[in-house]
Amino acid sequence: MTGHREKAYALLKADAEKIQKLIEVQMGNLTMPQCPLYEEVLDTQMFGLSREIDFAIRLELVGEDTGKQLLSELERKLAALHDASTKR
């Protein structure tokens, strides 16, 4: 079962890293205060990741604290993006 847990965490981490890259690209190329299309895509990605994490937690492949930590890190990045967009 440990192998499945490690694989589940690695997959969730990879998905979180993809979303993080989206955030970093937006922060690096921020040319307008807000881009509704980008925000919609990002919201959809975050929702999808949260559902993946919930599923992994329910299967007991990932601990609840670990899942919440992954989402928290991304939410902090989102907050930084929002702050950067409102300051321009």
Rounded to an integer, what distance in angstroms lies between the CA atom of residue 83 and that of residue 5? 35
Half-sphere exposure of 20 (CA within 13 A, CB side): 12
pLDDT per residue as tens digits for the range 13-59: 999 999 888 877 777 776 554 677 677 778 899 999 999 999 999 99
User: pLDDT class for 76, splitting at 50, 70, 90?
Assistant: confident
Interior angle at CA 88, CA 70 and CA 46, nearest 5: 20
pLDDT at 60: 93
Show the domains of the chain with their CATH numbers.
2-15+33-87 (1.10.287.750)
pTM higher than 0.75 for the full model? Answer: yes
Give the burial class of 18: count Cβ atoms within 10 A of its Cβ; 0-12 exposed, 13-18 middle, 19 or more buried: exposed
User: pLDDT class for 82, splitting at 50, 70, 90?
Assistant: confident
